[in-house]
Structure 1
Amino acid sequence: MHPHPASRHWDGSPRHTQPRRSLRVAPTSPSRLLRAGQSGRCRACGNRLEWYPRSDDRHRPIALHPAEAPTAAVPASCHWHLSCGTAYRHGDGSAWCRLPHAVLCPHRTTTRLTPHVEDLRRQLALRTRRLLDTGAFTPRPAAAPTAPAAPCRPTRPILQLLSIRYLAAHPVDAIRCVAQTRHRHRCPHPVLAPAFPGTWRLLPTGPAHGQLMLPDQAMAVYDLGHLPYDEQLRWRAQRCPTHATSPGAADLALPEWEVFDPLTHHQHLHQRLPTTRRRAGRS
């Protein structure tokens, strides 16, 4: 008795299989982030969500509910629509819109909305309860209070590149590449390259978006402005030197830069260089 080949069913009938296609990103796409990098699960309720960059000047990511909702049944303040991979606030004139996950998350307390939104919240709450009962989801425990970082070792440093100051989400040596490897995982290599290091400088705070000048004070900035232009573009794209020369590799995460605002991010101002050693007995 000979086994049936993989191209046929157990009864010998032909098996019709669709050819596998690899994920590709169009060269004209404004965002090189794959769909696999945009989807995820809420750490509070376990439900699925999708991340998209906003259309504001900072391009901050926003978590949207994967399914669309009728525009007439959703408050106008919750209307979002997508265009070329970017999320825009309010509707685009169509009968359907997207909702922020923060409005539907059962873990959050929100004001009473329309019946349709309340029904979606109940559905997500039931799904969360089902995930908890089956053990498929474990809520993230509350973070234990940690001691504040020493001023000379900023956990969220300020970087200057392409004449713009950015607030990083991790220390300089821990900023990770966002490109996808051949095994479809995120690249584990850091963006920092020993051949092109930056320089820590004490620079003035400067004005905040054309507003009044803040008190004249210096802050520690990791300056990359002296590097070549291509190297600064690599930093802004948040790619390691290997993937900087691989335009075909897509991104599995959004770059974590945030345009620095001295008024909003005043808690991240440090007046001591990280390379400066503290004197004995000083805190």
Structure 2
Amino acid sequence: MHPNTVSTGCHWDGSPRTTRPRRPLRVTAASPSRLLRAGQSGRCRRCGNRIDFYQRADQRPIALHPAELATTHVPDSCRWHLSCGVAIPHGDGSAWCRIPHAVLCPDRTPTAQTGPHIEAVRRQLAVRTRRLIDAGAFTPAPPTACEPPADSDRPARSVVQLLLGRYLADAPLADIRCVAQTRHRHRCPQPVLAPNTPQGMWTLLPASPQRGQLALPAGIMAVYNLSRLPYAEQMRWRTQRCPVHAATPGAADLALAGWQVFDPLLHTEHIHTRLPHTTPRHHGKA
């Protein structure tokens, strides 16, 4: 007798063993977004519930509730559907639709009449939030005070001029991080502001609106200007990639790029009228 059973191609009941081959995650070349599906899920910072991130047609991210809801229970203004991985703000004619998480978040005050079915989902998410807090799996973020940054020479969110437009970053200039996936399937830790690459320059430019935005009184603001750099370098910044991953088009993204189209009316608190006097970390003179 053998001490161990000889491995065969069948289970103990005689049914065949089926082994599915492991396939690496890849992004199709025709996809409008290079973001992997694994990088689109997250947790709401205010309630701890799961959310799915998608890009809109204007490349701005939006957080959607992960489950579909019946279209008859969702107001027209809250209906979204997905087309080729892009979130579109209206129904697609089907009986189901997606809904923004902001409408369901129990930590937010609803701004419109939603109906009993939406309120029932909100209560379910509120109960789940309480369970996460009681289990120690989630700690609500403390309310942030609207105070100016302590270091006025280092804006909390930098305004960058590139590709004939102005964009607001989600972090200081030196902290803008590459969004690409490494070989170990982690997010790249390298910054976009890399040494040995063409550098931009902090300059004072008129706070003039872009096309489609309302005009403001005359004024100036500090902008990190990249408009004189080659087109490929400006695209590297726009796609938020380090030089290594910018040269690797096959690498997918594990996070959305943190750019927002700068609007002087909506982003007034990020307008600085003085140039930064500090030099970005690990970089030469801009």
Corresponding position of 1:242: 244
Cα displacement string for residues 184-242 of structure 1 (whole angstroms, at most 9, x for unaligned residues) = 11100000122211111111222343566433322111111121111111110000000
1:63 maps to which residue?
A: 63
8 Å CA contact retained: 2:79, 2:90: yes
Match of 1:280 in 2: none
Gaps of 5+ in 1: 278-283
Alignment match, 2:284: none
Give me the identity figure in percent. 65
**AA at the equivalent of 2:191:** P
In the other structure, the counterpart of 1:201 is 203
Residue 115 of structure 1 corresponds to 116
Distance 1:269 1:71, change over 3 A: same
Q: Distance in 2 between matches of 1:225 and 1:95?
A: 47
Inter-CA distance 19–42: structure 2 relative to 1 (3 Å threshold): same
Structure 2: give runs of 5+ residues left out of the alignment.
280-286
1:119 CA drift (Å): 2.2
- 1:11 shift after superposition: 7.7
Look up the SS of the partner of 1:261 in the other structure: coil
Secondary structure in 2 matching 1:219: strand
Contact 2:165 2:210 in 1 (8 A): no
What is the distance in 1 between the residues matched to 2:151 and 2:140?
30
TM-score, scaled to structure 1: 0.87
**Alpha-carbon spacing, 1:135–1:270, altered in 2? closer, same or farther (3 Å):** closer
| Map of 2:283 onto structure 1 | none
Alignment-mate amino acid for residue 228 of structure 2: H
Instruction: Write the letter of the residue equivalent to 2:173.
Output: V
Do 1:106 and 1:121's aligned partners in 2 also have CA atoms closer than 8 Å? yes
Change beyond 3 A, Cα 1:121–1:215: closer
1:23 and 1:207 mapped to 2: Cα distance?
41
Point out the more displaced range, 223-232 or 234-243.
223-232
Indicate the residue corresponding to 2:40 in structure 1: 38
Does structure 2 conserve the Cα–Cα contact (< 8 Å) formed by 1:208 and 1:263?
Answer: no
Query: AA paired with 1:171?
Result: P
The answer to whether the aligner puts 1:130 opposite 2:131 as a matched pair is yes
1:51 matched residue in structure 2 = 53
1:94 counterpart residue number? 94
Equivalent residue number for residue 29 of structure 1: 31
Q: 1:35: Cα distance to partner?
A: 0.7
Q: Deviations over 1:73-118 (max 9, x none)?
A: 2111211111111111121222111011111122223255222212
Cα deviation, residue 50, structure 1: 0.3
CA distance in 1 between partners of 2:94 and 2:44 (Å): 28
Deviates more, 1:152-161 or 1:232-241: 152-161
Aligned twin of 2:275: 273
CA contact (8 A) 2:213 2:263 kept: no
Give 2:73's aligned residue: 73
Alignment RMSD (CA, Å): 2.5
Structure 2 vs 1, CA of residues 63 and 13 (structure 1 numbering), >3 Å: closer, same or farther? same
In structure 2, distance between residues paired with 1:194 and 1:240? 10
Equivalenced residues, count: 275
- Distance (Å, rounded) in 2 between the aligned partners of 1:124 and 1:276: 45
Matched-pair contact (CA < 8 Å) for 2:206–2:220: yes
